[in-house]
Amino acid sequence: MSKGKIRVLIGKPGLDGHDRGAKVVARALRDAGMEVVYTGLHRSPEEIVETAIQEDVDAIGLSVLSGAHMTVFPRVLQLLSERGAGDIVLFGGGIIPEEDRQALLKLGVKDIFVPGNATQQTIEFLKKLVQEKKYEAV
């Protein structure tokens, strides 16, 4: 986990070509004082996890609008675990039905933000979660 500013990777996995929401969230996090790494479009879960580890991020936010959320999120969680990086918080956003959101939360995704959520909710979520992680590490 990084020291100092909260570091967040925003990823756009798969074939989804719409990244306006991801960019809005990335800018809001940056404006809130966080360091943000944006992977760009069409990244694989492997690329996202590798970048997250290299960049020493506290959290990964995935934006999924393509319907592949039940494949992508579990794969990223698996890769984080395999790489010994299970302490990196995984959260996401996109068009994800409530039933699937609940299933993803049970798998270990920390939160899912859907269209209409204020970016301030994501900011507060990350501040709280990362602060809790820092206390646990002491």
Q: Is the Cβ–Cβ distance between 92 and 61 less than 8 Å?
A: yes
Indicate if the pLDDT at residue 115 is higher than 60: yes
Distance CA 27, CA 36 (A): 8
Contact 105, 111 (CB under 8 A): yes
35-38 and 89-94 as β-strands: parallel, antiparallel, unpaired?
unpaired
Collapsing DSSP states into helix, strand and coil, what is residue 22?
helix
Q: For residues 61 and 10, what is the distance between their CA atoms, to the nearest angstrom?
A: 5
Domains contained in the chain, CATH given: 7-137 (3.40.50.280)
At residue 129's C-alpha, the angle toward residues 14 and 92, to 5°, is 20
**pLDDT score for 130:** 74
pLDDT digits (tens, 9 = 90+) for 34-60: 999 999 999 999 999 999 999 999 999
pLDDT tens, position by position, 64-107: 988 999 999 999 999 999 999 999 999 999 989 999 999 999 99
2 pLDDT above the threshold of 50: no
DSSP bridge partners of 98: none
> Closest Cα to residue 90, out of 50, 49, 51?
49
> DSSP letter at 128?
H
Q: How many CB atoms lie within 10 A of CB 2?
A: 13
